[in-house]
Amino acid sequence: MNEKIWRGLGVSAGRAAGPIWYLKEFQADAARETPTDRSVEEELARLQQAITRTERNLTSLEEQVKAEQGEEVAQIFAAHKLLLSDPSFIGEAQQRLQKGQLSAEQALREVAEEAMQMLRSLEDPYFQERAVDVQDVLVQLLRNLQDTQEKVSDLFPKTGNYVVLADELTPAQTIALPKERVLGFIVRQGGKTSHTAILARTYGIPALVGVAEGWEDLRVQKWIELDGEEGWVRLSAEGHITSADNGLWEEDISSQSGSLQGMILAANIGSPGDLPLVQKFKAQGIGLYRTEFLFMGENLPSEEEQVEAYRQVIASCAPQLTVIRTLDIGGDKKAPALQLPQEKNPFLGVRALRLTLRRPELFRQQLRAIWRAAASGPTAIMFPMIATLEELAQAKENLWAARDEVLQDGHPVGELQIGMMIEIPSAAWLADKFAAKVDFFSIGTNDLTQYMLAVDRENTELAELYQPYHPAVLGMIARVSQAALRSGIWTGVCGEAGGEALLAPFFSAVGIKELSMAPGSLAKVRTTLAKLELSLAEREKLVESVLACASTAEVQEVLQSFYPLS
Amino acid sequence: MLTRELTINNKSGLHARPATLWVQTASRFRSKIKIKRGGSVVEGKSILGILSLGLSAGSVFELLVEGEDETEAVATLEQLMIDLENQDR
């Protein structure tokens, strides 16, 4: 065996081996970058059009990523959008175009190269890495200028698993790759805080960055092995394929299955495109299927398109349960095709069920699609943003009417568990009344926290006040779960708190049956629950101590003392 | 015109996420906003401009705000710096 070894910075733990796939840097068509006969006005208009398209792409990426991976990762794309309106970037490019003789491509490239050079010359590596952001935006603008449809996902081989090698890997590229077939990332540039590092960790894919030495040699190898913790790459025998999940987590699952104190660990998803991640992280079903994304495009989906999208998820998760949430638009989620009026206070306005009850056609269509899709496997439906029993009654009326319509159309219908989200304090308080009317509760901790502490979770100035660990929030959750248990129905938690390893034992102790989270959080929560064996007395003690706390800080201290997480 | 001398107290400085928040916040105001550090003055609503100053932890800079909503802008940006520092804890 060859002893050759390459070193880099390990940024996402795990070991993997497989064939190399090298991602070439995007080369814009050089001929198009030379001065053209077009007038200055034409070039400016082309640039503007490319900006508009890029902005649209970035917005949809941001929304998608925010829902799937959380705020931290989505923020990358918010930063990219700022570049599109940056006077020192786009403004500067426009000024150069004004002078004539340059194509929009050239002007952009000039300005971007200067910006990247400026950033790379800064001392702090945090700042140097921001050059990748400029590169990412530049590539997207150039593509949109040239209408190049060539996407990373088209370049990636159609079959097989690969270790991805790239000189630089932009977040948009990383997200476009079929992650289930990516064994690892090796990137020449970048440091610990690079986007590749953050994304690789969210996806649980081993990654190495900053592998500058010997790069040209590494690039032409065929089969390699990497360790994303120790930070090395070496040659490996051809035909040898391993991925991080069957090294790291397979063991966890086999040795600990059945010992999760009866807790079901499910995944939150936004589209059928997330299914590979669900399988990779071995989720036990889908605890939250957000249907918003279907509705966020320029056109609304047809009933058939909806049936197809739901069916794909349900069939792939069967025999495990898929919980579909009806449309939750409004608040922070926009849908241009629905032409919603601007509201002064969107989080307290016409969002989610409040919207669908006002748009019966839209609502019925979705309900029909869900009934039809439910024929392909175990399915549950839940309604978001319920404040009163009347709303629940109306939603259920629509649900039964939709079932009749489907039967009249001659389509088969499936069985549905009917549930509701608990995220508004009034519904949480009346949980015992609601429990008599539904099959299950799913607690949306993000909104419950926001509404209980009266803090807009988008308002960065109040970030400190947004406290999912607040004893009032946890007390409310305990109360809801106990009301559900008394009525013989089950309760899940599907907000971001559901993916917090520190809270999992508490949730288990108050009788929560399912935790649903971003697929990337499953391994950690699973390991935490499996390691912890609490007796009944200890569980009672845990709940009692948490509920006796007066502040978030106290709660965190109590939780840490019960099971210190390394 | 209002001016303030501010210090970066969060541990990673005014890079990616903090700089994004800064620009998003600054852009809400109509006032002209500039940041001065050493000999360079940059546009306070430009993410590239801000990054170019390389404001890492401990850096001191001058904030210059001029316009109809300058008082509110200065107060909001000062508060943002405090929030960023608190988030590190």
Q: Count structural domains, chain A.
A: 3
Question: Which of A235, A266, A296 corresponds to the end of one domain?
Answer: A235
A89 to chain B, minimum CA–CA distance in Å?
7
Q: Does residue A184 belong to any structural domain of this protein?
A: yes
Residues A51 and A11 reside in one and the same domain: no
Known catalytic residues of A are: 195, 494
The H or E element that residue A396 is part of is helix A389-408
Residues A224 and A260 reside in one and the same domain: no
Query: Which residues does residue A242 pair with via DSSP β-bridges, in sequence order?
Result: A17
The yes-or-no verdict on residue B89 having pLDDT over 60 is no
Q: Does residue A458 belong to any structural domain of this protein?
A: yes
Question: What pLDDT is recorded for position A147?
Answer: 67
Question: Which of A123, A146, A169 corresponds to the end of one domain?
Answer: A146
Residues A18 and A45 reside in one and the same domain: no
ipTM of the complex: 0.88
Question: What pLDDT is recorded for position A549?
Answer: 97
* Cβ contact, residue pair B83, A79, below 8 Å: no
Residues A370 and A441 reside in one and the same domain: yes
CA angle, residues A78, A80, A84, in degrees to nearest 5: 115
Q: Does residue A241 belong to any structural domain of this protein?
A: no
A-chain CB neighbours of B11 within 8 Å are none
Residues A65 and A213 reside in one and the same domain: no
Q: Nearest CB to B54: which of A115, A127, A461? A: A127
CATH number at residue A231: 3.50.30.10
* CA trace torsion A524, A445, A385, A460 (10° rounding): -110
Question: What pLDDT is recorded for position A252?
Answer: 43
Residues A207 and A300 reside in one and the same domain: no
A-chain CB neighbours of B86 within 8 Å are 464
Instruction: Give residue-wise pLDDT tens across range B3-56.
Output: 999 988 887 788 778 899 999 999 999 999 999 998 889 999 999 999 988 888
Residues A158 and A287 reside in one and the same domain: no
Query: Which residues does residue B5 pair with via DSSP β-bridges, in sequence order?
Result: B62
B12 → chain A, closest CA residue = A126
B-chain CB neighbours of A119 within 8 Å are 51-52
CATH number at residue A141: 1.10.274.10
Q: At what angle do helices A131-146 and A104-120 cross, to 10 degrees?
A: 170
Residues A363 and A228 reside in one and the same domain: no
Residues A405 and A537 reside in one and the same domain: yes
Give me the domains of chain B, ranges plus CATH numbers. 2-87 (3.30.1340.10)
Residues A386 and A515 reside in one and the same domain: yes
Question: What pLDDT is recorded for position A36?
Answer: 67
Q: Does residue A227 belong to any structural domain of this protein?
A: yes
Q: CB-based contact (8 Å) between B79 and chain A?
A: yes
Q: Does residue A541 belong to any structural domain of this protein?
A: yes
The number of beta carbons lying within 10 Å of the beta carbon of residue A518 is 21
Nearest in space to B11 (alpha carbons), one of A48, A193, A357: A193
Looking at residue A88, what DSSP letter applies?
Answer: I
Q: Which domain holds residue A450?
A: 252-562
Q: Does residue A243 belong to any structural domain of this protein?
A: no
Known catalytic residues of B are: 15
B-chain CB neighbours of A193 within 8 Å are 12, 16
Residues A276 and A379 reside in one and the same domain: yes
B-chain CB neighbours of A83 within 8 Å are 47-48
Question: What radius of gyration, in Å, describes the C-alpha atoms of chain A?
Answer: 25
Tally of CA atoms within 13 A in the half-sphere of A294 that contains its CB: 25
Residues A218 and A125 reside in one and the same domain: no
Interface subset of A 145-184, CB within 8 angstroms of B: none
* Cβ contact, residue pair B52, A119, below 8 Å: yes
Q: Does residue A16 belong to any structural domain of this protein?
A: yes
Q: Does residue A547 belong to any structural domain of this protein?
A: yes
Burial A432-467 (b: 16+ CB within 10 A, else e): eebbeebbbbbbbbbbbbbbbbebbbeebeebebbb
Q: Is the link from the previous residue into B18 a cis peptide, with omega within 30 of 0?
A: no
The number of beta carbons lying within 10 Å of the beta carbon of residue A93 is 24
Give start and end residues of each alpha helix (H) in A325-373. 353-358, 360-373
Q: CB-based contact (8 Å) between A553 and chain B?
A: no
* A&B contacts, CB < 8 Å: 78
* Cβ contact, residue pair A75, B47, below 8 Å: no
Question: Which of A183, A204, A235 corresponds to the end of one domain?
Answer: A235
Question: What pLDDT is recorded for position B11?
Answer: 79
Q: CB-based contact (8 Å) between A112 and chain B?
A: no
* CA A446 vs CA A228, A496, A516: distances in Å: 32, 6, 13
Give start and end residues of each alpha helix (H) in A121-220. 125-128, 131-146, 152-155, 171-176, 195-203, 215-219
Distance separating alpha carbons of residues A185 and A130, to the nearest angstrom: 19
pLDDT tens, position by position, for chain A (566 residues)?
457 899 988 888 788 889 999 987 766 555 566 666 788 888 899 999 999 988 988 888 888 777 767 777 788 888 899 999 998 899 999 999 988 788 898 999 999 999 999 988 888 877 888 888 898 888 888 888 876 655 777 888 888 889 999 987 877 788 888 888 899 999 987 766 667 777 787 787 899 988 888 888 998 889 999 998 888 999 887 777 777 654 444 434 433 444 577 899 999 988 887 888 888 788 999 999 999 888 877 789 999 999 999 999 999 999 999 999 999 988 666 777 888 888 888 889 999 999 999 999 999 999 999 999 999 999 999 999 999 999 999 999 999 999 999 999 999 999 999 999 999 999 999 999 999 999 999 999 999 999 999 998 777 677 789 899 999 999 999 999 999 999 999 999 998 899 888 999 999 999 999 999 988 788 888 888 888 778 889 999 999 999 999 999 999 999 988 876 64
B46 to chain A, minimum CA–CA distance in Å?
5
B16 to chain A, minimum CA–CA distance in Å?
7
* Cβ contact, residue pair B48, A79, below 8 Å: no
Do residues A488 and A170 make contact, with C-beta atoms less than 8 angstroms apart?
A: no
